[in-house]
Amino acid sequence: MDRFLLIIDEISTWVGKTAGWCILVLTFSTSYEVFMRYLFLAPTEWAFDVSYILYGTLFMLAGAYTLSRNGHVRGDFMYRAWQPRTQARWDLVLYLLFFFPGMLAFIYSGWGFAKLSWLMNERSAASPNGPIVWPFKWLIPITGVLMVMQGVVETIRCWQCIKTGEWPKRLHDVEELDKIILKEAEEGKYAVVKELEELGQRKGAI
């Protein structure tokens, strides 16, 4: 079972990290547009379309990857104080009541949007070039499927945690230093708290 969970995690990771290359292309295209617009007074006709298409692609395809890392924003001022079993019970209820119905509706609606866009050979109305946009509309149902797959994995993790009292292992990436320091501080490593206070004093935050 753990191997199955990690396989889905790996699929979500591969898709998310592949989509991450959109950042590089977006950076270069935006820089080129700024360079041409302000230095040569020759703005491009395609920069706006490229920016929102690439950003939308990145945003959509990174969703399942973020979920696999438990990285979505939550108001956890109460959640993080709960025991793992309590966390898992609430997560399970919320997945069943909100996540899966929402994602299934997302797939259903997205399929209709994408199919209609394809039949119309839809093009962008935001620029004179009018590039085709229907291939990107198919990212809506694809993203929904990826999210449902990862959601199944997360509900299994919730069930395992309810039974064992501990969260199962998941894949991890490099974390920001501030996040690591706060986590260690919560675990009672007071030397880290002192270092954090000293760092804040040096920055003028305390």
Burial of 175 (0-12, 13-18, 19+ CB in 10 A): exposed
pLDDT of the residue at 48: 87
pLDDT tens, the chain, 206 aa long: 678 888 999 999 999 999 999 999 999 999 999 999 998 888 888 888 888 899 999 999 999 999 998 888 777 778 878 899 999 999 999 999 999 999 999 999 999 999 999 999 998 887 777 888 999 999 999 999 999 999 999 999 999 999 999 988 887 765 656 666 666 666 665 565 556 555 554 444 44
Take residue 94 and report the two structure tokens written for it.
């919320």
Strand, coil or helix: 55: helix
Q: CA-based Rg of the chain, rounded to a whole angstrom? A: 22
pLDDT of the residue at 124: 85
Tell me 49's DSSP state.
Answer: H
pLDDT of the residue at 204: 44
pLDDT of the residue at 181: 65
pLDDT of the residue at 206: 41
pLDDT of the residue at 203: 43
Q: Report pTM.
A: 0.79
Helix, strand, coil fractions of the chain, as percent rounded to 5: 75, 0, 25
pLDDT of the residue at 179: 65
Q: Position 45: which residue type?
A: E
